[in-house]
Structure 1
Amino acid sequence: MSASLIYDLAPIGSIVAWSDGTPRPPERFKKKLAAWQTRNGSGRLIRKEGPRQSGNYVSPGYLTLHEVDFGGKNTVVMRIHRTFGLDSNLTFKVIGPPALGSVRVFDRAGAGAELVHLADNREAAEAWLQEHRYPNAALEEVTADEAAAAHVEGRAAA
């Protein structure tokens, strides 16, 4: 599936994998393995941004995936996000959509909002917000239509 199909069909909060189609090198080849891992992996879809125009240039739009957090004892020291243009030549696949009834916590409302947490229900989302303090946060429940739309993994890329 192409990045533009993920943009169109996958709901925010889905687990998405990306791949360049090459086989994983053996562990003993550290540099080759590190290079392969930048072009093959998975993460949670946290943001979608449509095409923008700046002068004569039109950017193709992009999607951002949260890959991993580094830290310890409930403290995040570094977050790894991967951003892919909608014109990316990689192959994408929805591994798992967000569960029906789960609640997404965005850093703010409106366009350009980024997913900061996916809770099991509204009460859990509100409890998380009390602890993490996002003053402009917006809560959004995952609907049945969104969960159903994400089951398109077998569809051919356009």
Structure 2
Amino acid sequence: MSAQLIFDLVPLGSLIRYSDETPRPPERFRKKLTSWENRNSVGRLIRKQVERHIGNTMLPACITLHEGDYGSNGIVTIRVHRTFSADSDLKFTVAERPAIGSVRVLDRPGDGAELVYLASHRADAEEWLTKHGYPNAILDEVTADALAADFVEGRAAA
């Protein structure tokens, strides 16, 4: 599916695979493998940003995936996010949707909110919030109705 369909149909918190559909090069070709890995990976959908205008420039809608955190001793020093334009030439697939009953912790209400934590249940989300500073955070429980919204005009987000 396209990045636009991910934007339109897939809920925040889903694991998304993206690919340029080229075969993986052998391990011995380090530079080719690194280049391939930049266009073929997986991440959690944390943000959807609508099309916007800045002066005379139009920025298309985009999605942001969280690919990982790096650090040591429980301290995150680097957080890797990757943003894709809705007109990206890559192919996207949904690897996993958030479980019913899980709770999304969003950094703020409204459009453009970013998923900062996906909790397994409400108590976990509330405990996480007490340890992290997000004063405007909201809790959004994943319901069966929210996941049913993946169906639009008879099509399902695959």
- Trace 1:2-151 onto structure 2 (pairs within 5 A): 2-148=2-148, 149=150
**Structure 1 gap ranges (5+):** 154-158
User: Normalised by the size of structure 2, how large is the TM-score?
Assistant: 0.92
**Per-residue deviation, residues 110-133 of structure 1 (Å, max 9, x unmatched):** 222111100011111000111112
CA distance in 2, matches of 1:91, 1:146: 24
CA distance in 2, matches of 1:74, 1:113: 25
CA distance in 2, matches of 1:114, 1:124: 18
Decide whether the 8 Å contact of 1:18 with 1:40 is kept in 2.
yes
**Structure 2 gap ranges (5+):** none
Decide whether the 8 Å contact of 1:19 with 1:90 is kept in 2.
yes
Q: How much is the aligned-residue C-alpha RMSD, in angstroms?
A: 1.3
**Per-residue deviation, residues 107-156 of structure 1 (Å, max 9, x unmatched):** 11122211110001111100011111211111111121332328621xxx
Q: Percent identity?
A: 57
CA distance in 2, matches of 1:147, 1:16: 15
Q: Secondary structure at the match of 1:145?
A: helix
User: Normalised by the size of structure 1, how large is the TM-score?
Assistant: 0.92
Note if 1:152 corresponds to 2:130.
no
CA distance in 1, matches of 2:114, 2:100: 19
Shift of 1:57: 2.8
List 4+ stretches of structure 1 deviating above 4 A.
none
